[in-house]
Amino acid sequence: KRVTTDMETLTKEVERFAENKKLEIESLKVRENYRREFLGNISHELKTPLFTVQGYILTLLEGAMKDKSVRKKYLQRANKGVERLIYIIKDLDMITKLEVGDLNLNEEDFNIIELVQNVFDLLEMKAAKKRITLTFDVDYEDSIFVYADRERIQQVLTNLIVNSIKYGVKDGTTEVSIEEFVQNKVLIRITDNGEGIEKENITRLFERFFRVDKSGSRKEGGSGLGLAIVKHIVEAHKEKIYVESQLEVGSEFSFTLEKAK
């Protein structure tokens, strides 16, 4: 009698062991796939600008160098490609740090109104090129202090506003507003009347490398990492990010921040 019970216990243990091993291997496989996909994405993102740069250099070497105006134009374009590569590498560096939790927040009290104004100043030219008006709507006088990592929040605002310009329409608007939210929080909204996002794509926006327009000849450059970075930074602050969008109407991204005490 006892022998059978022991046998049963043993069998159960063996089964449990096998089940655990299976789960372990599956999770390793998931991680391995994840890594493989990440590397695949990186090389894909780097290839387009690299080949562009190479294209201009080769054309110059093959004779275009002789014409002064062509030479200048091609060198400028090659330089744009290099700038884009640098931009992608910076984003990759940032996302890697954020994903391994290697980014310490440097939180302090600062005036969020001033920060939005700074970001507007920096992006004014970019917006003007597309004749997009940047507007700011606040309930407060001229200061509202929040407690957060200023530099990271500047990046969040920059990424969101740059997107509203990139995916905005000519003569469109981007509005930033700040309002009281639940107790001790403010809600910062970035609203555009741009191309908008289809419902089925909204849930995937914050994934690394996700883009609505996947064609290699996208008119808007970028790394496909901007929103993944934004989400990581907001969540590192233990805050929330929301998105609402309608195709051909516009998008609204918003996130919360803690008010300074």
Burial category of 218 from C-beta neighbours within 10 Å (exposed 0-12, middle 13-18, buried 19 and up): middle
Residue 164 lies near ligand ADP (rule: CB under 6 A): yes
Q: Tokens 């022998």 map to which residue?
A: 3
Sheet holding 185-192, edge to edge: 133-138, 173-180, 185-192, 250-258, 241-246
Chosen residue from 116, 176, 205, 257 binding ligand ADP by CB under 6 A: 205
- And the tokens for 259? 């008010």
* Alpha-carbon span 139 to 112, nearest angstrom: 13
**By C-beta, is 63 or 216 nearer to ligand ADP?**
216
Chosen residue from 115, 224, 241, 255 binding ligand ADP by CB under 6 A: 224
**By C-beta, is 74 or 84 nearer to ligand ADP?**
84
- And the tokens for 86? 């640098």
CB of 203 to ligand ADP, least distance (A): 12
Taking residues 140 to 159 in sequence order and writing x for each that binds ligand ADP by CB under 6 A, - otherwise, the string is -------------------x
Q: What radius of gyration, in Å, describes the C-alpha atoms of the chain? A: 24
**By C-beta, is 32 or 171 nearer to ligand ADP?**
171
Q: Tokens 């809600």 map to which residue?
A: 187
Closest residue by beta carbon to ligand ADP: 222
CB of 106 to ligand ADP, least distance (A): 24
Chosen residue from 45, 149, 195, 239 binding ligand ADP by CB under 6 A: 195
Residue 212 lies near ligand ADP (rule: CB under 6 A): yes
5 sits in which H/E element: helix 2-61
| DSSP secondary structure of 139-176 | SSSS--EEEEEHHHHHHHHHHHHHHHHHTSPTT-EEEE
Chosen residue from 251, 254, 256, 257 binding ligand ADP by CB under 6 A: 251
Residue 222 lies near ligand ADP (rule: CB under 6 A): yes
Residues that bind ligand ADP (CB under 6 A): 159, 163-164, 166-167, 192, 194-197, 205, 210-213, 222-228, 251
